[in-house]
């Protein structure tokens, strides 16, 4: 299989509510330069796949709200490479649309699906892993996910239990079970067993295999997308009109629940390229340079006394003076200031909902 048949789908529609208020509805986290490198998470995701996928084969699926952000940050991609969702319906409908869109142009296509907000620290190992994954799905009717060896009993990730090798190689194993976000005790059992990997949410498959999987496991989704003749996916006007009229009627469901947990041809490639989904303040803290007191500062200036383990994400022109804070998030963005223990960061989504109920969309 030649490189011209390899595609990448970057899912870029999330709102990043766990990073509120630094991540806001009008500019969520995938468009933010978190590390002061001049490059956003989306731009990092795009640059990372260029060695394995031609730039004309990179598809970005995002909300219509973020079209201009994508065009501004990825000026090299053409308008037809940006698929605009009229409604948020989780990852399964997003992936299904991208699969039909790609298959209509190239029935021999193989696809990597990745999120726009992951952090990868070893790009060369990432490229090797993706090449290995492409080689596998191009020679097998398989749905492949990338698994990360856990380093702690994390409760915010899904887990994959590996099965016994059955004629596979190069770190690729059959999947035995999936488990979504376990509690702390179960996560400790998973960590100690050595049989479980974090589910990275990065997938590889051929366009044909994933469409067949939708036929089998989510026929309502495949039936909807097949009401548009395959040849008309190549006509942007007809495709967009169809999507605008029909996409919202898709069920809101993740690809894990819809397909991966039900299919029998699911495999995992165990990878070591330094992955984080960068989904929480603690994950950003863990992946950031710390000062001698163990504090992290993103923009702005901070003077801290008797304080450690904190992350300050503040306005570049602002000075923060803090004392006696340990393991806190201090996040400032325009008209919102959040002060929250890092141990309670999973509650931030609830805070956002409460703010929305009390004050409407103004602070969201």
- What would the mean pLDDT of 243-251 be, rounded to a whole number? 97
d(CA 320, CA 342): 18
pLDDT for 217: 98
pLDDT for 45: 97
At 268, list the tokens. 């995992």
Residue 166: which pLDDT band, with cuts at 50, 70 and 90? low
Asked if the model's pLDDT at residue 88 lies above 60, the reply is yes
Sequence-distant (6+) residues with CB within 8 A of 223 are none
Asked if the model's pLDDT at residue 168 lies above 70, the reply is no
pLDDT for 44: 96
Residue 254: which pLDDT band, with cuts at 50, 70 and 90? very high
- What would the mean pLDDT of 68-93 be, rounded to a whole number? 96
β-strands 266-271, 172-179 pairing:
antiparallel
Name which of 190, 47, 184, 187 is nearest 118 in CA terms: 47
Average pLDDT across the chain, whole number: 94
pLDDT for 251: 96
Sequence-distant (6+) residues with CB within 8 A of 28 are 14, 15, 16, 19, 66
Q: Among the listed ranges 9-18, 80-89, 158-167, which one has the minimum average pLDDT value?
A: 158-167
pLDDT for 85: 97
Q: What are the CB-based long-range contacts (under 8 Å, 24+) for 26-32?
A: 26/65, 27/69, 28/66, 29/117, 29/278, 30/116, 30/117, 31/66, 31/69, 31/73
- What would the mean pLDDT of 241-251 be, rounded to a whole number? 97
d(CA 198, CA 191): 10
Asked if the model's pLDDT at residue 154 lies above 90, the reply is no
Find out whether the peptide bond into 185 is cis, omega within 30 degrees of 0: no
Helix (H) or strand (E) holding 179: strand 172-179
Residue 167: which pLDDT band, with cuts at 50, 70 and 90? low
d(CA 189, CA 302): 40
Residue 315: which pLDDT band, with cuts at 50, 70 and 90? confident
pLDDT for 280: 86
* 3-state per-residue secondary structure call for 293-340: CCCEEECCEEEEECCECCEEECCCCCEEEEECCECEEEEEECCEEEEE
pLDDT for 223: 97
Q: Tell me how many degrees the CA angle 28-56-251 measures, rounded to the nearest 5.
A: 50
DSSP string, 103-125: HHH-TT-EEEEEETT-EES-HHH
CB 17 within 8 A of CB 352: yes
At 175, list the tokens. 């999947």
pLDDT for 156: 81
């Amino acid at each position: 299989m030649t490189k011209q048949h390899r595609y990448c789908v970057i899912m870029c529609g999330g709102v990043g509510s766990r990073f509120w208020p630094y991540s806001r509805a009008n500019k969520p986290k995938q468009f933010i330069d978190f590390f002061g490198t001049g490059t956003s998470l989306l731009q990092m995701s795009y640059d990372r796949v260029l060695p394995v996928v031609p730039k004309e084969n990179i598809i970005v699926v995002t909300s219509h709200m973020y079209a201009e952000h994508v065009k501004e940050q990825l000026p090299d991609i053409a308008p037809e490479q940006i698929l605009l969702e009229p409604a948020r319906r989780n990852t399964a409908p997003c992936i299904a649309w991208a699969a039909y869109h790609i298959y209509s142009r190239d029935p021999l296509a193989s696809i990597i699906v990745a999120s726009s907000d992951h952090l990868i620290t070893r790009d060369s190992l990432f490229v090797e892993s993706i090449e290995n994954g492409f080689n596998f799905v191009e020679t097998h009717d398989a749905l492949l996910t990338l698994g990360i060896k856990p380093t702690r009993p994390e409760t915010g990730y899904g887990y994959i239990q590996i099965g016994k090798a059955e004629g596979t190689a190069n770190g690729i194993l059959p999947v035995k079970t999936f488990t979504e976000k376990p509690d702390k005790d179960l996560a400790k059992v998973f960590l100690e067993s050595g049989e479980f990997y974090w589910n990275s949410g990065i997938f590889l498959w051929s366009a044909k295999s994933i469409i067949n999987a939708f036929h089998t496991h989510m026929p309502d989704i495949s039936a909807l997308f097949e009401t548009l003749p395959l040849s008309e996916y190549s006509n942007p006007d007809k495709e967009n009109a169809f999507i605008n009229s029909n996409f919202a009627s898709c069920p809101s469901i993740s690809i894990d629940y819809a397909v991966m947990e039900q299919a029998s041809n699911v495999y995992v490639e165990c990878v070591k390229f330094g992955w984080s989904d960068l989904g929480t303040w603690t994950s950003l803290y863990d992946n950031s340079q710390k000062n001698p007191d163990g504090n992290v500062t993103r923009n702005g200036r901070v003077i801290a006394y008797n304080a450690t383990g904190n992350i300050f994400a503040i306005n570049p022109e602002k000075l923060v003076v803090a004392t006696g804070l340990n393991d806190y998030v201090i996040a400032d963005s325009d008209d919102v200031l959040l002060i929250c223990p890092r141990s309670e960061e999973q509650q931030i989504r609830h805070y956002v909902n409460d703010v929305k109920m009390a004050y409407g969309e103004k602070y969201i």
